[in-house]
Every structure is written in C-alpha cells, then in structure tokens.
Amino acid sequence: MGPKSIIGLAGALIVILVVSSSVYIIPETHRGVLLRFGELVETNVQPGLHFKVPVIDQVRQFDVRVLTMDLPARQYLTVEKKPLDVDSYIAWQISDVDTFYRATGGNEFSAQSLLASRIDNGLRNEFGVRTMHEVVSGQRDELMHALRDQVNETSVSEFGIRVLDIRIKAIELPQQVSENVYRRMATEREKLAQEFRSRGREAAEGIRADADRQRAVILAEAFAKSEQLRGEGDGEAARIYADAYTRNEAFYSFYRSLTAYQKAFAGKDDLLVIDSDSDFLKFLKDPRGAAN
C-alpha cells in the first residue's frame, strides 16, 4: 500500500470519527440537554438524531418514563400522640427537563432525596392532624390524595418533577407499642373469658339448683303417691282379711296363728318365754284351736 493510500485511509477514519462524535441519538423514552463547556445551551432535546460539536459539546439524557421509589420507613405521631411506623412509595416522572437539570444537576439520586424530604414533612403534617383510625382506614385515601397534590404543586415548579402517586404500603405500631397492645388485648380477652366462665358457672349453678328442686319435688310427690297407694293397699288388705274372717272365723284364726308362729320361730337361737295356757299356743296344743 502506497503512502497516498495510507493517508487517504487515515483521512477517512478521521472523518468517520468526527462524524460519529458529532451525531447522537435520543431514545423515545428519554429527553436530553446539551452542554457546551459545561454551560447549558439547549434543553428538552427531543427523541431522534441530533448533531453536536465534538469535544466541545456534551449531551446528558434523562429517562422520562414513570419511575417508582421506595421511601425509607419513618415513624410519625398521630393527633393522639401515638407513634406509627409507616412504609410508603412514590411514583414520579420528569415533566420539565430544563427545570429538572437546573434544580438537581441531572442527578436522579438528588431528585429522590428532595422528593423524600418533601413527602416526609408532608406525611408528618398529615398524620399529626388525624387519629390512628383515620390514617389506618378512615381517611387513608384522602390523606394520600391531599399529600400528592401538595407535593406535586411544589415539585413541578421547583424540580420539574410530576408526582403521580404516593401510596402507603404498610402502617405498623412500633415493636414496643405492639407488645404492649398485644398484652393489653390478651388481658382484655382473658377478662372477657373469665366473665363468660363466671356466667357459665352461674348458669350451671342455677341449672343444678333447679334440677335438685325438681328432683326433691318428684321424690316428694312419688313418696306421697306411694304412701297413698300403700294406705289404699293396706285398706284393701284389711278389707280382704275382714271379709275372709267373716266367712270362716276358725280358718282365719288358724292362718293368722301360723303366720305368727312362722315369724316368732324364724331364728334358730330365738327364745320365747310364755305361759303355757296362753292363747298364742292353742293351735300347738290342739290343731282345732279349742280352749283348754
């Protein structure tokens, strides 16, 4: 290869390098700013192919899509002075590249720090005028919308950032407070359980007392009925005995004497001392029971 060819090739390479360093492309999802010697000369550079002065100009590109950021968990006090640990996040977007670059120097971390500081102050103020019930469930959406509008109003004008949404992911009691709450809840539940047990014991005593009363009444009625039946039976037996006696006095006397002998001499060791002329022994002396 001759010297002219080498020079021509070198010249072509230089031209290519100059052209490539003079052309830059902004993606559809980004916007750019053009700096010359560090000074801002053009802002909000739109997507597409653009030209710049090599070495002298510098291009910075920024993502204008919706971005999310998890905010560090913070502790806030409600109007009742009750502490709550709050975990939240923010959805934001660069709305004005010029303002964004001038306010943050194009540093996304600085932008997030500024937003986090504003939201931290806003949450502290919003929690400070609401009760625990309101921030947990009652006015939670209202709180978030009010805070979003408040932060967005200043962030758009001061930082070129539009705040699209602020959401609370979790609200929890601090560990020590949670333990106290759990202990108090356990105490209240134990107290309630004791109350139910006392009511149960009282009801059981009433049921047992009523059952004992009904048992006593039933036994008394049964005893009275049995005594009545026994009396009626004894009366019927006496009537039968009397009827039998009137029909055959001799046989009835003999039968009664035999029954008396059976009961009197039931035991082997029984000893009976009686006059031999007693009527009790008349059927032992004479089966006919004739008097001596």
The band of 144, judged by pLDDT with boundaries at 50, 70 and 90, is confident
Residue 292 pLDDT > 60 = no
Q: How does pLDDT run across 162-182, given as a tens digit for each residue?
A: 999 999 888 887 777 667 777
100 and 154 together in one domain: yes
Tell whether 281 is covered by a domain: no
- pLDDT the model gives residue 289: 56
- Of 145, 172, 199, the one marking the end of a domain is 172
Stretch 15-35: mean pLDDT: 81
Q: How does pLDDT run across 205-259, given as a tens digit for each residue?
A: 999 999 999 999 999 999 999 989 989 888 888 888 777 777 777 777 777 777 7
Tell whether 237 is covered by a domain: no
77 and 167 together in one domain: yes
Structure tokens at 283: 């059927």
Tell me, what CATH number does 117's domain have?
3.30.479.30
Q: Which residues are CB-neighbours of 183 under 8 A, at least 6 positions away?
A: none
53 and 107 together in one domain: no
- Of 140, 172, 204, the one marking the end of a domain is 172
Report the chain's mean pLDDT, rounded to a whole number: 83
29 and 125 together in one domain: no
Tell whether 150 is covered by a domain: yes
- pLDDT the model gives residue 277: 64
- pLDDT the model gives residue 207: 92
The answer to whether 92 and 121 have CB atoms below 8 angstroms apart is no
The band of 24, judged by pLDDT with boundaries at 50, 70 and 90, is confident
How many angstroms separate the Cα of 99 from the Cα of each of 26, 40, 76, 91, 156? 19, 12, 32, 19, 9
52 and 80 together in one domain: no
- pLDDT the model gives residue 90: 93
In single-letter form, the type of residue at position 249 comes to: E
Buried-state track 171-183, b at ≥16 Cβ within 10 A, e below 16: bebeeeeeeeeee
Structure tokens at 72: 């560090």
Q: How many CA atoms lie within 13 A of 217 on its CB side?
A: 6
The band of 82, judged by pLDDT with boundaries at 50, 70 and 90, is confident
3-state secondary structure 27-92: CCCEEEEEEECCEEEEEEECCEEEECCCCCEEEEEEECCCEEEECCCEEEECCCCCEEEEEEEEEE
- Of 117, 141, 172, the one marking the end of a domain is 172
In the block, residue with structure tokens 């590249």:
97
Strand residues in the chain grouped as ranges (E): 23-26, 30-36, 39-45, 48-51, 57-63, 67-70, 74-77, 83-94, 161-172
Q: How does pLDDT run across 266-290, given as a tens digit for each residue?
A: 766 767 666 666 666 666 666 665 5
Structural domain for 125, as ranges: 67-172
Tell whether 31 is covered by a domain: yes
> Looking at the 3D structure of the chain, how many domains does it have?
2
28 and 52 together in one domain: yes
18 and 36 together in one domain: yes
Tell whether 84 is covered by a domain: yes
Indicate the pTM of the whole model.
0.56
